[in-house]
Amino acid sequence: MVELIYMFLFIMIFILLVDKYYIIYLIQNLFMMVIFLLFMFNLNISNWNNWGNLYGNYGMDKVSFLMILLLIWIMILMLMSVYLIKYKYYYLMLLLMMMFSLFGLFYSLDYLMFYLYFEFSLIPIMLMIMGWGYQPERLISVLFMLMYTLFMSLPFLLILMMINNENYSFNLILNKIYKFNLLKNFVIYLLILMIFLVKLPIYLIHLWLPKAHVEAPIFGSMILAGVLLKMGGYGIMRFMFMLININMIYNIMLLSMVMLGSIIISLICMNQIDLKMLIAYSSVVHMGMMLCGGLMMFYWGMMGFMIMMLGHGICSSGLFCLLNMSYKRVLSRTFLMNSGMINYLPKMSLFWFSFSVMNMSAPPSLNLISEIFLMISLIKVDYVMMLLIGLLSFFSGLYSIYLYSYSQHGVNYFFNKFMNNTIDEFMLMILHFIPMNLLVMILWFFN
């Protein structure tokens, strides 16, 4: 596996040295697909807790393997989405930095290295938003993201030092927290989870996400929704087992807050007039439901947690790509300017419908399977959860239908020119659609 990482980094550096763009376009997609297939055929992991050692403090299990596959797939789609871009060498260099930090994060077995990779991944996305964002307000959105993340991450570093002082190790597998008193355990639980809850994010600490999405370019939104939000879920999944003696006490309080927050965000979604804000807020809803199912640590909940990370990463990336296709032609993100697009971009209307219903967990998408598993896990906790889950699913369906109907149907009084789509745009959407619906055929893989 280390050789594959080196191969990928070598290819990215080679791309930076090539002058002809279309050669770059061909090479990057061809070689990344080859790397993706190599990953697929070199899987030798039988269960969730079977760690394969790579080198020193780096290793891989099934969770990190799936996150690496998602990362590579989203990177392929990011490179396809911007076939003409200013300062492409700087853009590719930022992708190289992003790949380095995320590979290190998903492979790390050391708390301290995990923290360093986690924080380092913030630098490329900030530079992407500042360098290729559309509005002057992008500086404010970057400041929001930076302050939210750093404010919650510094206490996390102090907790890591305290754990190392107690256990004399930063190893992710060996450490368990059970030696402290009840109050200190609660503080540790809160400060460790806060860094991941901000990254996820959940209600009350989510304000940086809509701002970042609105100001980010298309490739920034794709990597932000597709992979960077999943870093929070991945961190929770890793540290939850370290806190296994603590979180059984406190998880039910967090579960109640997150579930109610997701319902409130669903109502906010139905009050949006900006398509990008609606898609960004819908990510908060899905991450909230995913977290609720995973917090109980049942088998079905953990499976649903993992499948939703994969499914939402692809679905939200596809929605942002569709919105970007409309934005390039209409130069607006509002429902008013984008209404009736079925008359002007009819070929994309099918994809708008497909991804809208996948966003509300319609069959046969991964989101449906994940929500079923998460519901089973939550109903085991309390039958009252059936009411909250029903409300959440109902509101998710409402804002997904609202997104499709108001953007594709109706009359547009500001735009009257028929437009065609390019082959690149069709290929981009097909490569989002296929894994989202065909991965349900290999559910045994998530077992």
CA distances for 319 relative to 32, 38, 45, 286, angstroms? 23, 28, 32, 14
Cα–Cα distance for residue pair 174/272, rounded to 1 Å? 46
* Tens-place pLDDT, residues 260-309: 999 999 999 999 999 999 999 999 999 999 999 888 888 888 889 989 99
* Tens-place pLDDT, residues 305-350: 989 999 999 999 999 999 999 898 888 888 888 888 888 888 889 9
Structure confidence at residue 37 (pLDDT): 62
Residue whose C-alpha is closest to residue 408's, from 331, 323, 328:
323
> Mean per-residue pLDDT for 107-135?
89
* Tens-place pLDDT, residues 128-148: 999 888 888 889 999 999 999
CA distances for 144 relative to 118, 126, 317, angstroms? 17, 11, 22
* Tens-place pLDDT, residues 160-172: 888 778 777 777 7
Structure confidence at residue 55 (pLDDT): 52
Of the chain, the percentage scoring pLDDT greater than 70 comes to: 83
Burial of 425 (0-12, 13-18, 19+ CB in 10 A): buried
Instruction: Assign 68 a pLDDT band (cuts: 50, 70, 90).
Output: confident
- Give percent helix, percent strand, percent coil of the chain, each to the nearest 5: 75, 5, 20
Cα–Cα distance for residue pair 327/318, rounded to 1 Å? 14
Structure confidence at residue 152 (pLDDT): 86
Verdict on whether the full-model pTM lies above 0.75: yes
Cα–Cα distance for residue pair 312/222, rounded to 1 Å? 11
* Tens-place pLDDT, residues 387-429: 888 899 899 999 999 999 999 998 877 776 777 888 888 888 9
List the chain domain ranges: 260-447
Cα–Cα distance for residue pair 345/56, rounded to 1 Å? 52
Of the chain, the percentage scoring pLDDT greater than 90 comes to: 28
